[in-house]
Structure 1
Amino acid sequence: MIQFEHRPGILDLSWGHPRPGLLPVEEWARASAAASREFGWRQLTYGYATGPAPLLEWLAAHLPSATDQLFVTAGASHGMALVASLLAGPGDVILVDSPTYYLAFQIFADTGATVLRAPADEDGVDPDALAAMLEGRRVPLLYLVPTFANPTGRSLPPDRRRALVALAQRTGLTLLEDDTYRELCYEGDAPPSLWQLSGGDGVVRLGSFAKTVAPGLRLGWINADPALITRLATLGYVHSGGGVNHSVATTMSCFGASGAYQRHIAAVRAEYRAQRDALVSAVRAYLPASAPGGGWFLWLPLPPGVSATGLLAEAERRGTSFVPGPRFYVDGVGGDDRIRLSFSHLAPADLAEATDRLGAALPSVAAD
């Protein structure tokens, strides 16, 4: 019934899923009832192409954005697929950050384009090296998660944000900004989005309620210039079926307008901050770790001579798991000295126990 696969005896640190107890079951039920009362039959018919006006208006005020710069999607992955299908195809190159969200690779490959690494270092995509790479090539799209990234937890520095936006506007490259983790910020304020810095020129932003509310909603949005929004709204499948996920979108508008969204996001920020701190504290007994300012993940270096792929089997034998670093590189090369741990899915006590199991696996692998 659900995507998560529970394996008895495994406290799994690999899943970037919300903790089940943090999903707003009762609050969503109240919003659903309110939407049924407010919208009646209009909630259950075909929806407006770009999304129902009540949600577009709430999003426009919340982000902020203009309503004609918004298209409601069935989540960030759906938005990725839509934008890539419109902007790239066979013979093109799509660049991706390295490391980055590995489930994006197949989405981009489905367009028929060649998916390649963008030049990057510990601070993220390198604008100067990228500019050299772009010379003489048609590269319509660069995908990155610049704020509280998956898997690193890092945010792109301000100077690189500005340089990448300027490069995109100068060359015609589109930056596809996955802004999924922006509101899961645990200290201070999140940095300005590439979309905000660009004024909407050269950047398309993806947003999602999967991390902030619930992934089962299958609800997100695209920020883009009005011309691209029109192209999205006139796609054949939209013309055939109307707006995407219309009923859930109307419920989300009530969830947002009632204040339930702000109350919920404040509550889950506090919970995820506590989970982050629990995992960082436990990990420091075994590996160097710093606390990311937001998101759900730790990106940890392994001791010299220990490979992520070698450690995984021993960790699972001892009752825990993680995602090995090479998974986050489009060609699978590199990252075998790193592992990604998620602190989103388990309560603090389970995070500590899972880390102790991981720590117990390290010496035997290091000895090998």
Structure 2
Amino acid sequence: MGISETYTRGRELAVTRPGSVLLGLVGVVLLFDLLVSLVTGTQSLSGVGSLVWDGLMRGLVIGLAGIGLSMTYSILNFANFAHGDYITAGAFSGWATTYLIAGLGRADVGALLLVGASGSVFGGTLGIGVTGTPVAVVAGIVVAGISTVLLALLIDRTVFKPIRDEDGITLLITSVGVAFALRYLMQFVFSSSVRGTTAQPPSLSLYLVDGAVRINAHDIALVVVAGSLMLGVHLLLQLTKLGKAMRAMADNEDLAQITGIPTERVVRAVWVVGGGLTGVAGYIFILWKGTLGFNDGWLLLLLIFAAVILGGIGSIYGAIVGGLAIGLTASLSVIWIPSSFSRAAAFFVMIVLLLVKPEGLFSGRSTA
């Protein structure tokens, strides 16, 4: 490609897609500023590496939880605002199980089942963690997934199914009501206190030129669990009859019904798969950050919506990539702005990218 042809294409891009050019220039400026900061010592390579690792951890949780939300929209055609409280419900049920197994015979059973409400028992005292109480943690992950599946199926049967033929706004507002009901029920049962859930996990150091990035056992557990489940969803969608039925129903529900696909069974499968992933995401999120409160899922929900919309609402792979993008943006933004604005930075990036590519990174509504 000659210089003149390169110039012509660049000029056409600037005229037809000025937003893309502007976004690219902003990215170049930020990258240049980061390189200057590293050279001058204002930022350390290890510090940036730690932010990248933190962003990946957040992104994996957001992406895993976003899969369920994306599947719900893709097949049931409504944005489920109760999704964040499914995350919290899964977290509380899983951690109640972990506390009970880890602390049985060492603390009051009621206090254990309430996950140490009001400081009645502490996860650090019980030595809870991947290495300290592996059986309790694995049991908690399993129970978190199963209990959230049961909760999602129950709410679908009693609340969403009777109004499934109504418009999306009706379902959306109903889901908001479900969210508030679940949130304050959990606050009533488990209290509003934020409690520590784990003991300090062992860690290893990845040494760079000017320091080290610390990676602990809970980070590794998050990567293994989230990565395995994401791979499992991919195999489900691509290699099984259920996955093909899900993709067909997402593309055209009426045609799926005509061709004999059991749509009601597919809907139940969506709640099972999405609910299970959501509950596990809630549990490993708390395992990673080490604290639990009744509002955790609601606060995470806004970032999950940002990830799903950024990736292309309805796209499973878009939810994963969007989650990683949002997580990295929220973590790395503290290089340039105060940490209190990191959440706002994630939404700002989402808005800017959607102005350039309105259909999302994965171009729209497709389960696959």
Compare the two structures and name the one with the higher strand fraction: 1
- Name the TM-score class by shorter chain: under 0.3
Which of 1 and 2 has higher RCO (CA within 8 Å, sep 6+)?
2
Compare the two structures and name the one with the higher helix fraction: 2
Normalised by the size of structure 2, how large is the TM-score?
A: 0.23
Larger radius of gyration: 2
Normalised by the size of structure 1, how large is the TM-score?
A: 0.23
